[in-house]
Amino acid sequence: MDEIQATKTAEILGGQTWQSGGDMWLVVKQRADGHFVVISEEVICEYASEEDFESNQIKQSILLI
């Protein structure tokens, strides 16, 4: 998604935008249990912790396309 889409989605979900490189933007939201949910245009991923997010250790995912 582009920066505008990511910003609007982050506002709705109470998350933050994150640029993953190039012109690809993600929405990142930390849940109350410490897990991270990351949303892109193609997939929603859950990570058990920030460290897992940084090392791309996906707990589960939902493909959107």
Backbone dihedral region for residue 28 (phi beyond 0: left; psi -120 to 50: alpha; all else: beta): beta
Q: What is the pLDDT along the chain (65 residues), one digit of tens a residue?
A: 999 999 999 999 999 999 988 888 999 999 999 999 999 999 999 999 999 999 999 999 999 98
Cβ neighbours for 19, distance < 8 A, ≥ 6 positions apart: 3, 25, 26
**Cβ contact 26:39 at 8 Å:** yes
What DSSP designation does 49 have? S
DSSP 3-state helix, strand, coil percentages of the chain (rounded to 5)?
A: 25, 40, 35
pTM of the model: 0.88
